[in-house]
Amino acid sequence: MSMWGGRFEQGSAEEFRDFNDSLKFDYVLAPFDIQASTAWVNALAGEGLLTAAEQQQLLSGLQELSEAVALNPKLPLQSDAEDIHSWVEAELQDRIGHVARKLHTGRSRNDLVATDLRLWAIAKAKLLGEQILAAINTLIEFAERYENSVMPGYTHLQRAQPVLVAHWALAYVEMLERDFDRLTQASDRAAIAPLGCGALAGSGIAIDRSAIAKELDLREPARNSLDAVSDRDFVLELLSVASIGMVHLSRLAEDIVFYTSGEAGFFLLGDQISSGSSLMPQKKNPDVFELIRGKTGRVAGHLQAMLMTVKGLPLAYNKDMQEDKEGFFDALDQWQKCLAISAYAIPFLTVDEQKAEQAAMLGYSNATDLADYLVGKGIAFRDAHHLSGQLVLQAIKQQCALEELPLTIMQAVCPDIHEDVYPALALSAGMNRRCALGGTAPVRVHGAIRRARLRYQAH
């Protein structure tokens, strides 16, 4: 039986119900609806609207329901209730009888659904936070494993300057730490209690809303009832946080796809995390990372969809808002899955250290070091840059590396160059030179790994 049949003369059409009902996706809110209902029962009792006996009956019914849902989260799907709120009420009535019909006193599904969804989001954010930390941990382990390995660093996907593999991994640690902070902050901001705001204008009973907020472990009651029932900023914000987080994972994935490609080839995929081709026997494909990259579009799409859903809505609740769920659930589920598989897959990546180092030395990636060397000889950087470029051109023509150019040729371009140019062009010299804060010099990166580890342990 529906919650709202009194003013209707006919039952609703199957076609309408099929389109309108949200139980098929909002059933996941069951534990939170029960939690919110529990707090509501206590608040009603506090106002003398339930006897102590009725309160006890309702509480034990809700407790029973909560246990049943914990055992079988899909239990609500066995009913034909309109949504999870109707299901909880109806199921309660089946279990404890008529007193269940008092549960909805002074509340609306509008303040209830906004509360349920916040509780769901906060619980989900906690799980996501744990997954981010797990991914951070595997990246730090990767950095520790390849603490001294060198690989090419790129700009414009052209070899630019060598970097430590660990420096590369720590760049993603930075991104994921920001994701963690953003998630925590967004989750904190979501911790507001709309319950007790009624349908839009406030509850008809002078319920103690602060007590409800406290019982639900939310920071405070929402201040304005119109806003409270129609505010989905927390959905938009968490979708943004998820989209940014996915963009980070996608960039990580893209780097790995490229580094494991035949063209770069200095990262190797473990068999456990890659697949083959049904036709080409030699293939080993980075499917995991491509899928992460692919799912990023899906998550960002959910953000866009929700922005469009909310943009023209008049105050206060509108049924459009039921569309806040499927995309939101999916976006956070996908992010969680991608974090988990990233944390799982990264330990199966290995670096071909020899190949990585060879690649790092190619492409005249020590040309900046040559310019820096000339600056050390008192030449202005702009001139040094030009001279180094001229020597790169000579080397290209002779098909050799900069450090293979004979001193005579170098001196013909710049007489200030001496024998000491050769050690200055060595890979290790260039690496050590990048020793300003945040640079790839091994001494800096070793410190950065240790600090990242300490920050991780502090969580």
Binding stretches for ligand ARG (CB under 6 A): 22, 26, 83, 109-110, 113, 317, 319, 321-322
Which C-beta is closer to ligand ARG: that of 74 or that of 451? Answer: 74
Q: Minimum Å distance from CB 223 to ligand ARG?
A: 21
Which C-beta is closer to ligand ARG: that of 111 or that of 369? Answer: 111
Q: Minimum Å distance from CB 116 to ligand ARG?
A: 9
Active-site position among 275, 277, 418, 459: 277
Cα separation, 187 vs 353, whole angstroms = 41
Cα separation, 425 vs 401, whole angstroms = 10
Distances (CA, A) of 130 to 3, 119, 120, 376: 39, 17, 16, 49
Q: Minimum Å distance from CB 285 to ligand ARG?
A: 41
Which C-beta is closer to ligand ARG: that of 199 or that of 427? Answer: 199
Which C-beta is closer to ligand ARG: that of 167 or that of 232? Answer: 232
Which C-beta is closer to ligand ARG: that of 24 or that of 219? Answer: 24
Cα separation, 155 vs 147, whole angstroms = 22
Could you tell me which of 61, 133, 129, 135 has the C-alpha nearest to residue 92? 61
Q: Minimum Å distance from CB 321 to ligand ARG?
A: 5
Q: Minimum Å distance from CB 109 to ligand ARG?
A: 4
Which C-beta is closer to ligand ARG: that of 35 or that of 131? Answer: 35
Q: Minimum Å distance from CB 21 to ligand ARG?
A: 8
Distances (CA, A) of 87 to 8, 109, 141, 201: 20, 12, 47, 25
Q: Minimum Å distance from CB 179 to ligand ARG?
A: 28
Cα separation, 321 vs 272, whole angstroms = 42
Cα separation, 286 vs 264, whole angstroms = 14
Q: Minimum Å distance from CB 13 to ligand ARG?
A: 17
β-bridge partners, 220: 192
Question: Torsion over CA of 314, 316, 317 and 321, rounded to 10 degrees?
Answer: 50
Which C-beta is closer to ligand ARG: that of 69 or that of 351? Answer: 69
Active site annotation includes 156: yes
Q: Minimum Å distance from CB 26 to ligand ARG?
A: 6
Q: Which residues are identified as catalytic?
A: 156, 277
